[in-house]
């Protein structure tokens, strides 16, 4: 499976390179920096006090993310590593500025500390030269999902082309890592912390457009449920709150992808996590509410039930969000605990969602909630099938609509609606899968990723574009 993926990425790169005719000749993309916001002076550009001649610049219509080309707005790049040796230092998303630079003040700190590194010649690995970092071209690299922190000692070799030789069995090319930015006041360069890009990037075209349409469908669904009085029962209110939480999470994701949240990146990240947890808990509440409603002899709804549900959901979500905030606050500067942190605002304006620590603050809780949802769905389906058999047995048909979902036909479409509203499919992201099943599982994850991107569309079709809801909408 890996070979077709690499062939596909190579074809994409060739397409982008062909369309972007001004790529810099004989220059590796990872040796370039974005200078779109640098004014041209005579026949050169000044980037961090480095004059770059115009012949070392070119227009690009893509960006490389973890070895894969990603379409991007046409921008000017400069091959700065042809002029000076480069060093790649990570920049957290929360410090990334609109012009692509990093606003964490690291370069001023490096000048104050007089930091340096031993640079090894690519042609003679035994020759090392002490070079101040201020005399190198500093490229601020972005954190990626699934990054892992590694500590290396003075046995490593930093080559002038950006490669890092750690041992005979472990060598890193320049695009495979970046240095952690806040370590230069310690024993650097005798030992250093590197952020290794261990992720396999995946190109998923069209996901942002699907998310946007899905967000619009969420808003329309919420509007319909608020407009129709008969849908504003306890179950309907729970669905409204769940859809509001999901729509806000989708909105933050879209804005984060558009790079417009950098100034409030941490706030957006914690908000996204809060609404993510809240929507997941609301799914469980809806599952419990539907099961209780359908299996209870007394169908009367308690006046305070929704208030109790709301207090439960928002309190648990707030406690979980506060917990990851405190963990980040206490451990963010402890590099030994970096791999166990949620890392809000580093990879993106959100938490690291798929690594060993995610089982503590995301995958673990979501697995418990999803298991509960499946249990409630199973009990509900068993009860409905039992009632259906009894109805057939006594040749008696029962009509009526319970809550906001129509069960009168007892068809598989109703079970489909139940499975969607109870959030059964979200368990796919948190089921541990053995490595031998990885190839098939990757394809399943891609399908479910697109499905969840389009979840608002699915909800709108199943809950709004059905006969009973449309009838109520017309009557209203």
Which CATH number belongs to the domain containing residue 157 in this structure?
2.170.180
Residue 149 has pLDDT above 80, yes or no: yes
Distance CA 320, CA 177 (A): 31
Q: Give the domain-ending residue among 67, 83, 99.
A: 83
pLDDT at 192: 87
Residues 356, 450 within the same domain = yes
Q: Which of 136-140, 156-160, 268-272 bottoms out in mean pLDDT, i.e. has the lowest? A: 156-160
Q: Give the domain-ending residue among 83, 98, 117.
A: 83
Distance CA 321, CA 319 (A): 5
Residues 331, 459 within the same domain = yes
pTM for the whole thing?
0.80
Average pLDDT over residues 177-184: 88
Quote the domain boundaries for residue 57: 1-83
Residues 278, 365 within the same domain = yes
Residue 224 has pLDDT above 70, yes or no: yes
Average pLDDT over residues 66-92: 86
Q: How crowded is residue 348: how many other Cβ atoms within 10 Å of its Cβ?
A: 27
Confidence of residue 440 (pLDDT cuts 50, 70, 90): low
Give the chain's mean pLDDT.
81
Q: Which two tokens stand for residue 357?
A: 């620590």
Residues 177, 233 within the same domain = no
Confidence of residue 185 (pLDDT cuts 50, 70, 90): confident
Average pLDDT over residues 375-388: 83
| CATH number of residue 48's parent domain | 2.30.160.11
Residues 124, 197 within the same domain = yes
Q: Which of 150-154, 184-188, 436-440 bottoms out in mean pLDDT, i.e. has the lowest? A: 436-440
Residue 159 has pLDDT above 80, yes or no: yes
| CATH number of residue 365's parent domain | 1.20.1070.10
Residue 41 has pLDDT above 80, yes or no: yes
Residues 326, 440 within the same domain = yes
For the stretch 314-372, pLDDT in tens is 999 999 999 999 988 888 777 777 778 888 888 778 887 666 677 788 878 888 898 89
Mean pLDDT is highest, among 160-174, 236-250, 395-409, for 236-250
Q: Which two tokens stand for residue 283?
A: 């799914």
pLDDT at 404: 43
CA-closest candidate to residue 354, choices 363, 366, 365, 344: 363
Residue 398 has pLDDT above 70, yes or no: no
Q: What percent of the chain has pLDDT over 90?
A: 20
Residues 25, 156 within the same domain = no
Residues 23, 110 within the same domain = no
Residues 174, 226 within the same domain = no
Residues 170, 274 within the same domain = no
State the Cα angle at 27 between 22 and 32, rounded to 5°: 85
Residue 14 has pLDDT above 60, yes or no: no
**Farthest-apart Cα atoms in the chain, separation:** 92
**Pairing state between β 170-172 and 164-167:** antiparallel
Confidence of residue 124 (pLDDT cuts 50, 70, 90): confident
Residue 11 has pLDDT above 50, yes or no: no
Cα separation values, 300 from 252, 297, 380, 404, Å: 38, 9, 18, 14
Q: What percent of the chain has pLDDT over 70?
A: 83
Q: Which of 75-79, 194-198, 426-430, 463-467 bottoms out in mean pLDDT, i.e. has the lowest? A: 426-430
The residue whose two tokens read 């509440």 is 285
Residues 78, 89 within the same domain = no
Residues 165, 268 within the same domain = no
Cα first-last separation, the chain: 54
Average pLDDT over residues 148-168: 83
Q: What total number of domains does the chain contain?
A: 3
Q: Give the domain-ending residue among 68, 83, 98.
A: 83
pLDDT at 256: 86
Query: In this structure, are residues 79 and 56 in contact, taking their beta carbons and an 8 Å threshold?
Result: yes
The residue whose two tokens read 């993310």 is 65
């Amino acid at each position: 499976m890996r070979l077709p993926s690499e062939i596909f990425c190579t074809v994409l790169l060739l397409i982008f390179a062909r369309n972007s005719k001004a790529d810099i000749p004989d220059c590796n993309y990872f040796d370039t920096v974005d200078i779109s916001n640098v004014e041209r002076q005579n026949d050169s550009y000044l980037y961090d006090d480095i004059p770059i001649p115009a012949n070392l610049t070119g227009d690009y219509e893509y960006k490389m993310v973890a070895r894969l080309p990603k379409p991007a707005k046409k921008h000017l790049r400069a091959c700065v590593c042809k002029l000076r040796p480069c060093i790649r230092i990570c920049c957290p998303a929360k410090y990334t500025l609109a012009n692509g630079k990093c606003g964490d003040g690291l370069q001023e700190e490096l000048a104050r500390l007089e930091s340096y590194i031993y640079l090894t010649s690519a042609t003679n690995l035994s020759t090392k030269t002490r070079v101040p970092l201020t005399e190198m071209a500093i490229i601020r690299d972005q954190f990626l999902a699934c990054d892992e922190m590694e500590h290396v000692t003075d046995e490593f070799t930093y080559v002038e082309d950006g490669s890092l030789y750690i041992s005979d069995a472990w060598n890193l090319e320049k695009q495979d890592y970046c240095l952690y930015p806040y370590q230069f006041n310690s024993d650097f360069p005798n030992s250093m912390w590197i952020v290794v890009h261990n992720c396999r990037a995946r190109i998923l075209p069209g996901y942002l457009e699907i998310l946007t349409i899905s967000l619009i469908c969420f808003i329309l669904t919420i509007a319909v449920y608020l407009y129709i009085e008969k849908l504003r029962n306890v179950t309907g209110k729970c669905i409204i709150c769940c859809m509001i939480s999901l729509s806000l999470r989708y909105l933050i994701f879209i804005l984060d992808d558009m790079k417009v949240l950098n100034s409030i990146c941490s706030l957006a990240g914690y908000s996204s996590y809060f609404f993510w947890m809240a929507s997941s808990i609301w799914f469980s509440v809806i599952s419990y509410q539907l099961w209780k409603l359908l299996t209870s002899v007394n169908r009367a709804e308690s006046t305070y039930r929704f208030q109790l549900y709301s207090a439960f959901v928002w309190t648990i979500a707030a406690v979980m969000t506060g917990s990851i905030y405190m963990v980040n606050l206490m451990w963010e500067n402890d590099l030994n605990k970096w791999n166990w942190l949620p890392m809000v605002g580093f990879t993106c304006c959100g938490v690291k969602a798929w690594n060993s620590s995610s089982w503590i603050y995301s995958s673990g809780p979501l697995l418990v909630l999803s298991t509960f949802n499946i249990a409630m769905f199973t009990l509900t389906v068993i009860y409905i099938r039992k009632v259906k058999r009894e109805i057939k047995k006594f040749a008696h048909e029962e009509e009526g609509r319970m809550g906001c979902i129509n069960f009168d036909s007892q068809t598989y479409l109703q079970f489909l609606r139940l499975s969607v509203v109870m959030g059964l499919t979200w368990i796919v992201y948190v089921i541990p899968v053995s490595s031998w099943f990885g190839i098939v599982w990757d394809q399943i994850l891609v399908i479910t990723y697109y499905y969840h991107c389009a979840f608002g569309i699915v909800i709108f079709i199943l809950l709004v574009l059905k006969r009973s809801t449309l009838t109520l909408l017309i009557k209203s």
